Amino acid sequence: MISRVAPADLLFQRLGRLWRHRDTIRSAAARAEIWILSPNLQDALEKPYQAFGASAYVYSPYILCRTIEVFKDRSGLNIPSDIPVMIESALGERNETGLFSVRKNELENGDKCHHRIGIRELINRASLQVENPEFSNIDDSAAQTRYSDMPTVDVLLVKEVEPVKQCSSTILYTLDGEKIKFPWKYDSQTPREWCKTASETRNCTVKLPLSQAQELKIPSEIAKKLGFGNFIYLAADDKAGGLYLALCQKTGTVTTGLKTCLKHDTIYSSKIGWYRCKESNAK
């Protein structure tokens, strides 16, 4: 098995799939062996976003550095006896100094340069939401996973959005060649029909980091006029939530829902997914 470095408990989870059953028929040359691709610990501590690449945006650099520290001198593992000891060493609370202290501070208090929210702020938000759920305006799309504190949003990715004035409705042309049609007024469909519309539209979304999706957000007034507010939560334009819309051309090139130029040449591939290939000349 070959794996990029990840938090210790996730590495052990992957190891559990490596040699799960003793009676599995294997080649005589097969070995219960994992190769972990990771940078040098010092390089990772000094410049984590260069050293870890995309992984630094998925997992906390502090947790990754702690994991490297635990695994780097190991040539073998005894499963399951090594698991609790190594996980505690990699994830347990401890006082830090030097660069480890810097990386830990970013995890706890956030990193504005890389659009990361700290654990303390996430805890404060969660406490406010529990205490005053009726006043919460935090959309579900802003929910964080255990090791990734990067806010994400769902982007509606379709070929075309066609407003039809004659019948006061909107038609979405999906990448699969299907059509999703819905009226502008809520009373024109039953709740069951709106649930179907929401489900079909949900299947046309991709999840992106909020920092990459900002220029794809459609003003709430326009989204409401087109009927999206009947089944999508449309927060104020300066709040989390709302409609993020991208149009995918036949070539794979992506434009915003308003057909304005993106800051980057953006491509969507059904095999690779969403990616930016280079800087564009758009201003």
In sequence order, the β-bridge partners of residue 37 are 4
Q: SS3 for 30? A: coil
Look at strands 205-209 and 179-183 and give their pairing: unpaired
Contact 67, 56 (CB under 8 A): no
pTM, to two decimals? 0.50
- DSSP for 202-248, please give it: HTTEEEEEHHHHGGGBPPHHHHHHTTGGGTS----TTSS-S-EEEEE
Contact 257, 248 (CB under 8 A): no
Q: What is the token pair recorded at 232?
A: 């999508």
Q: How does pLDDT run across 171-200, given as a tens digit for each residue? A: 999 988 899 999 999 999 999 999 999 999
CA distances from 1 to 4, 80, 150 (A): 10, 18, 28
In the chain, the amino acid numbered 29 is A
Q: What are phi and psi of 261, to 5 degrees?
A: -80, 140
Q: How does pLDDT run across 4-56, given as a tens digit for each residue? A: 999 999 999 998 888 777 788 888 888 888 899 999 999 999 999 999 999 99
Q: How does pLDDT run across 203-227, given as a tens digit for each residue? A: 999 888 887 788 888 888 888 899 9
CA 100 to chain centre: 25
Q: Which of 152, 138, 189, 197 is closest to 171 using CA atoms? A: 197
In the chain, the amino acid numbered 249 is Q
Give me the mean pLDDT over the 50-65 stretch.
94
For residue 170, give every residue at least 6 positions away whose Cβ sits within 8 Å of its Cβ, in sequence order, or none.
161, 162, 163, 164, 181, 182, 184, 226, 227, 228
In whole angstroms, what is the distance from residue 43 CA to residue 213 CA? 30
What count of residues does the chain have? 283
Contact 179, 164 (CB under 8 A): no
